[in-house]
Amino acid sequence: MMEFPGASGLIMNEPLLWEKGSAGRCGFSLPRRDVPFSPVDEALTGAGPDFPDLSEGDVVRHYTRLSQWNFCVDSGLYPLGSCTMKYSPKISEKQVGRRGFASSHPMIPALLSQGILRIMYELERTLCEITGMDAASLQPAAGAQGELAGMLIIHAFHRSNGEKRTKILVPDTAHGTNPASAALCGYIPVPVPSGVNGILSPDAVASLMDEDTAGIMITNPNTLGLFENNVAAIAGIIHARGGLVYGDGANMNALMGIVKPGEVGVDVMHLNLHKTFAAPHGGGGPGSGPVCVKKHLADFLPVPRIVMEGGKYLLSENFPGTIGKVHAFHGNVGVMIKAYCYIRLMGPEGLKRASEIAVLNANYVKEMLKNVYHLPYEQICMHECVLSDKNQNEYKISTLDIVKRLMDYGYHPPTVYFPLVVPGAIMIEPTETESKEELDLFITAMKSIAREAKEAPYILREAPHRTKVKRLDETRAARRPCLAG
């Protein structure tokens, strides 16, 4: 009998803290008071203080029960496509928690922050080596802000040449934040349709590129999980018209040690340290979206930049062409330290091997499921694969029904209904940190759901059955959201 991670069992209810406890309870023994007692001024607090009286047991059980409602990469496969929810090595978490890192204040003078500045300086150089770029800034707080910084750099480049370009090309297989980042910089996003094989054709780009277009934003591998193998030719077309090529590096987990975007025509790109290096997407905290550029764009990078002078690491703002600051202080340093640790731990061959296994795992899932679920593009994928609910439509079962049922089998749902070019898309990224045994369990669950869709579709329409909260009315939530808090 095949068993799955999901099982029925104790599902604890948990009220709000304000509904727990009793007056006089205390979970902490305070030292003897050495100042006069002073009651809280109700005029300042309105109705007076409203803090529940809780014992230590009340508090511990409250947060433990809440944690058991959650699903995380430490509890099982998290196959969110385009998000890279890979297991995070605990050694990285341990390093970032060291007192010298965790307690360091961003306003400490540079001469007293040499250790952290050295890590950041070396991380910039390492990221440039991995991507084939020449300079980098670690300031952007996440991928979308890295995109925005990249667009600001492109805008600054054209302005320095006395040009005011108004458009940017964005393929229909780009990440969803790409057109938003371009629009925030005042550009008009111009959609570029992908070809029948799911990738961009140079002819499609050439037909849209003109002297009023600032450049193109390319996600590679794209959101179909396919490698854009015409990037060099497309870059030539863009550069011939004076434009620049922006590379969305959020999917770099498929390319480490295999392809250097800077060597195939990319001028500026961002990376997601919290996806590609060490931590899963979201990571239980902030992200980090460094922006890397070729040397002709280096002067436009955000300031302050880390420079080395006289054997010391310093923060310099002496770059007249800079786009300015994009983040308070120097970025989300904790994520950078985890990424630096991961890169040093893996080394060049380890990073390459990680990408190879990520691609292998995705293709294994694709091959095992393609005869059960519809496969819109029959070719080798990269780190993720895209299926659809087309085969289940005849039973009136949708992608939403499929992934809701998957929760009963103990798995977090994959990304759904994205990319938009595939109706009913089911986007799966297993990452390199999942074993064949874990993938086989997931594949068996997906096959079981496909069989249920045919033999007992009502089970899927009412799923999930075992979760703490059953299926929500998502249509109502979208049309009549509760914004009161």
Higher pLDDT, 163 or 3: 163
pLDDT at 1 over 70: no
Which tokens is 481 given?
A: 């959201």
pLDDT at 94 over 60: yes
pLDDT at 128 over 80: yes
Angle at 304 between CA 249 and CA 243, to 5 degrees: 45
Share of the chain above pLDDT 90, in %: 78
Q: Residue 132: what are its φ and ψ, rounded to 5°?
A: 80, 25
The C-alpha atoms of residue 181 and residue 175 are separated, in whole angstroms, by 11
Q: Cis peptide before 464, with omega less than 30 degrees from 0? A: yes
Query: 18 and 58 in contact (C-beta within 8 Å)?
Result: no
Sequence-ordered list of residues with C-beta below 8 angstroms from that of 90, at least 6 positions apart, any chain: none
The identity of residue 458, as a single letter, is Y
Cα-Cα-Cα-Cα dihedral of 199, 370, 364, 383, to 10°?
Answer: 30
Q: What angle do the packed helices 143-160 and 177-184 form, to 10 degrees?
A: 40
User: Can you tell me whether residue 384 is helix, strand or coil?
Assistant: coil
In 4-99, where do the E strands start and end?
A: none
pLDDT at 457 over 60: yes
Query: 383 and 253 in contact (C-beta within 8 Å)?
Result: yes
The C-alpha atoms of residue 198 and residue 401 are separated, in whole angstroms, by 26
CATH architecture of structural domain 91-345: 3-Layer(aba) Sandwich (3.40)
Cα-based distances in Å from 9 to 35, 273, 292: 51, 37, 49
Q: Domain boundaries in the chain?
A: 91-345, 353-470
Q: Candidates 3.30.1520.10, 3.30.1330.10, 3.90.1150.10, 3.40.605.10; correct CATH number of 353-470? A: 3.90.1150.10
User: Can you tell me whether residue 415 is helix, strand or coil?
Assistant: strand
Query: 138 and 290 in contact (C-beta within 8 Å)?
Result: yes
Query: 416 and 426 in contact (C-beta within 8 Å)?
Result: yes
pLDDT at 284: 58
Same fold, 91-345 and 353-470: no
The C-alpha atoms of residue 422 and residue 387 are separated, in whole angstroms, by 8
Burial of 47 (0-12, 13-18, 19+ CB in 10 A): exposed
Which tokens is 325 given?
A: 């600051």
Cα-based distances in Å from 269 to 122, 142, 154, 216, 394: 18, 13, 11, 11, 43
Q: 225-237, pLDDT tens digit by residue?
A: 999 999 999 999 9
Average pLDDT in the 79-95 region? 91
pLDDT at 45 over 60: no
Burial of 350 (0-12, 13-18, 19+ CB in 10 A): middle
Query: 326 and 148 in contact (C-beta within 8 Å)?
Result: yes
User: Can you tell me whether residue 165 is helix, strand or coil?
Assistant: coil
User: Can you tell me whether residue 400 is helix, strand or coil?
Assistant: helix
Residue where the block lists tokens 């209904």: 417
Selection from 166, 216, 212 nearest residue 191 by Cα: 216
Share of the chain above pLDDT 70, in %: 96
pLDDT at 73: 87
